[in-house]
């Protein structure tokens, strides 16, 4: 606008006054131009001088953060830093009570780090000409906690035992197994034993250990009873004739150190001159069978913790009719009855 008026003034005759005004105006114009150029150059210089941001890094104060300890994440870069922003798992970081951002967001401090703080941390650094970021995946180590054993409390002899121990732990815990307080060979989460014996009964204990936190869990205890099974009776013969021979019944069961008991019907069989109990009670021998020995016989096997009973076995015993009765028949000459059996 001043330009237009100056053109107008140029046309008018020069006066001292107008001359002076022109000089002032020109100087002012030059100053303005100078300032503007200066500022412009400054800006160019600034942008030219300002480095791009590069080599952003997030460095933890420890490579193995353990729950409950203090951890710092430090965000650095080369180039002038104007702003730093932190994100966790893709969203804006919302600091909790136990978290502090300091030194213009350069250091993120976890006063007592928690397993929930595990995740991906991203630090974004910006200056007027560039922006760059770096991430750090933090895994908070903790545990072991809540140790427990899963598996059967009862198992048949010769069965396969499988116990599984679990614990909450990062990294995965190592396990140690004990039976009745004595260490047994297994360092995995599973304890497997094929063909269990009665001596495998007892208290199983599992302890978990975390090699990073260097903590050992309390023990989980699991009671196991190995039970007797497959109790069966075999007979030397089942078709017998009264007074004309002996019979042996033999009882077998899975396991060792068992005790045997024989049942005749519902009553216990006791040894006598006619009845022998041998082989630790597992064999029953009736030396002279009578018609009353048809049973049913059952064998009951026990160990201190369980009992198993066999299926019943019947003996079929043929016997001659009463001799007196036969004799009376004889007398009335009915010979064909002489060898009558039932």
Under rule CB under 6 A, residue 54 binds ligand NAG: no
Under rule CB under 6 A, residue 256 binds ligand NAG: no
Among 275, 285, 326, 329, binds ligand NAG (CB under 6 A): 275
Under rule CB under 6 A, residue 269 binds ligand NAG: yes
- Residue 162 parent element (H or E): strand 161-170
Cβ neighbours of 339 (radius 10 Å): 8
- Which residue, 21 or 291, has its beta carbon nearer to ligand NAG? 291
Tokens of 331: 């007398």
Among 234, 236, 244, 314, binds ligand NAG (CB under 6 A): 314
Burial 119-155 (b: 16+ CB within 10 A, else e): eebbbbbbbeeeebbbebebebbbbbeebebebeeeb
Among 126, 230, 252, 302, binds ligand NAG (CB under 6 A): 230
Whole-number Å distance between alpha carbons of 297 and 64? 69
- Which residue, 6 or 69, has its beta carbon nearer to ligand NAG? 69
* Sign, CA torsion 33/36/40/41: positive
Under rule CB under 6 A, residue 264 binds ligand NAG: yes
Whole-number Å distance between alpha carbons of 139 and 184? 33
Part of the chain binding ligand NAG (CB under 6 A), chosen from 17-25, 76-84, 151-159, 239-247: 151-159
Among 54, 265, 287, 325, binds ligand NAG (CB under 6 A): 265
- Which residue, 230 or 235, has its beta carbon nearer to ligand NAG? 230
Cα Rg of the chain, angstroms? 50
Q: What are residue 113's phi and psi, to 5 degrees?
A: -70, 145
- Residue 121 parent element (H or E): strand 119-127
Whole-number Å distance between alpha carbons of 142 and 170? 5
- Which residue, 150 or 330, has its beta carbon nearer to ligand NAG? 150
Whole-number Å distance between alpha carbons of 177 and 207? 7
- Which residue, 130 or 259, has its beta carbon nearer to ligand NAG? 259
Among 141, 201, 205, 217, binds ligand NAG (CB under 6 A): 201
Residues 176, 211: contact at Cβ < 8 Å? Answer: no
Q: Work out how close the CB of 281 gets to ligand NAG at its nearest, in angstroms, rounded to a whole number.
A: 14
Under rule CB under 6 A, residue 257 binds ligand NAG: no
Among 37, 57, 104, 112, binds ligand NAG (CB under 6 A): 112
Q: Which residues contact 77 (CB under 8 A, 6 or more apart)?
A: 53, 54, 55, 56, 57, 125, 132, 134
Under rule CB under 6 A, residue 292 binds ligand NAG: yes
Among 203, 257, 318, 328, binds ligand NAG (CB under 6 A): 203
Among 79, 119, 171, 281, binds ligand NAG (CB under 6 A): 171
Whole-number Å distance between alpha carbons of 128 and 161? 68
Binding mask 2-41 for ligand NAG (x = CB under 6 A): ----------------------------------------
State the residues that interact with ligand NAG by CB under 6 A: 61, 70, 72, 96-98, 102, 107, 109, 112, 114, 156-159, 171, 179-180, 199, 201-203, 211, 221, 223, 229-230, 254, 264-265, 269, 275, 286, 292-293, 296, 312, 314
């Amino acid at each position: 606008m001043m330009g237009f008026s100056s053109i107008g003034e140029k046309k008018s005759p020069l006066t001292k006054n107008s001359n002076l005004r022109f000089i002032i105006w020109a100087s002012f114009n030059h100053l303005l131009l100078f300032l503007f150029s200066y500022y412009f150059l400054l800006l160019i210089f600034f942008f030219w001088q300002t480095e791009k941001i590069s080599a952003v890094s997030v460095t933890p104060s420890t490579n193995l953060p353990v729950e409950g300890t203090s951890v710092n994440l430090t965000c650095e870069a080369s180039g002038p830093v104007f702003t730093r922003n932190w994100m966790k798992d893709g969203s804006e970081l919302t600091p909790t009570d136990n978290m502090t951002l300091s030194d213009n967001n350069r250091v993120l401090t976890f006063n007592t780090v928690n397993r929930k703080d595990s995740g991906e941390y991203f630090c974004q650094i910006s200056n007027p000409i560039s922006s760059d970021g770096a991430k750090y995946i933090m895994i908070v180590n903790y545990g072991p906690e809540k140790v427990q054993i899963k598996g059967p409390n009862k198992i048949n002899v010769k069965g396969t035992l499988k116990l599984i121990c679990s614990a909450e732990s990062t990294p995965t815990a190592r396990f140690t197994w004990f039976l009745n307080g004595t260490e047994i060979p297994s360092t995995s989460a599973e304890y497997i034993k094929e063909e269990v014996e009665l001596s495998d009964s007892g208290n199983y204990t599992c302890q978990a250990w975390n090699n990073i936190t260097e903590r050992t869990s309390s023990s989980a205890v699991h009671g196991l009873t190995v039970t007797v099974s497959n109790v069966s009776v075999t007979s030397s013969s089942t078709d017998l004739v009264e007074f004309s021979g002996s019979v042996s019944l033999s009882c077998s069961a899975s396991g060792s150190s068992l005790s045997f008991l024989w049942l005749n019907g519902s009553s216990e069989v006791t040894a006598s001159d006619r009845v022998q109990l041998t082989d630790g009670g597992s064999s029953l021998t009736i030396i002279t069978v009578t018609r009353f020995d048809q049973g049913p016989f059952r064998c009951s096997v026990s160990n201190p913790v369980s009992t198993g009973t066999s299926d019943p076995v019947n003996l079929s015993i043929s016997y001659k009719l009463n001799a007196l009765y036969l004799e009376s028949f004889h007398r009335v000459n009915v010979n064909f009855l002489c060898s009558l059996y039932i």
